[in-house]
């Protein structure tokens, strides 16, 4: 179904790798907001916040529409699923890996697998 390209994963994870941008997402979970409203709580210029929003938009984590001079931002509903899918697949592979280790240890001796 989903499956993100390498570049999409790069952009999404890079977008999430910044506390300001994660904070903007948290704010948008409370409701749509304009650039000015989003920038107000931060000790940085509105232009800087506008750039962060561009990063979030290109990562498809938010969408921006037009309302007169305002540019209200919304979370993108479809963005999260594929990311969770990716992390879940990673977790599954990781746990299979450790299961193989545990099996191996259990086969050779009876010691505790994770000390």
Partner DNA sequence: CCTTTGATCAACCGATCAGTTGAATAGAAC
Partner DNA sequence: GTTCTATTCAACTGATCGGTTGATCAAAGG
Identify which range of 11-19, 35-43, 44-52, 65-73 contacts its own copies by CB under 8 A. 11-19
- x/- string (CB under 8 A) for its own copies, residues 23-52? --xx-xxxx---------------------
Residues 6+ apart with CB under 8 A from 55: 14, 15, 18, 21
- Which sign, positive or negative, has the C-alpha torsion 44, 48, 50, 52? negative
**63 is an interface residue for DNA by CB under 7 A:** no
Of 45, 98, 103, 106, the residue at the interface with its own copies (CB under 8 A) is 98
Of 3, 6, 66, 110, the residue at the interface with its own copies (CB under 8 A) is 6
Give least dist CB 8 to DNA, A: 14
Beta-bridge partners for 72: none
């Amino acid at each position: 179904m989903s499956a993100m390209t390498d570049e999409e994963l790069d952009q999404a994870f890079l977008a999430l790798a910044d506390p300001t941008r994660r904070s903007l997402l948290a704010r948008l979970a409370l409701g749509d907001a304009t650039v000015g409203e989003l920038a107000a709580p931060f000790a940085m210029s509105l232009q800087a916040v506008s750039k962060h929003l561009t990063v979030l938009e290109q990562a498809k984590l938010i969408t921006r529409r037009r309302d007169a001079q305002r540019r209200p931002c919304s979370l993108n509903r479809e963005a999260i699923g594929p990311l969770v899918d990716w992390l879940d697949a990673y977790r599954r592979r990781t746990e299979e890996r450790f299961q193989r280790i545990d099996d191996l240890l259990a086969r050779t001796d009876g010691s505790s697998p994770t000390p």
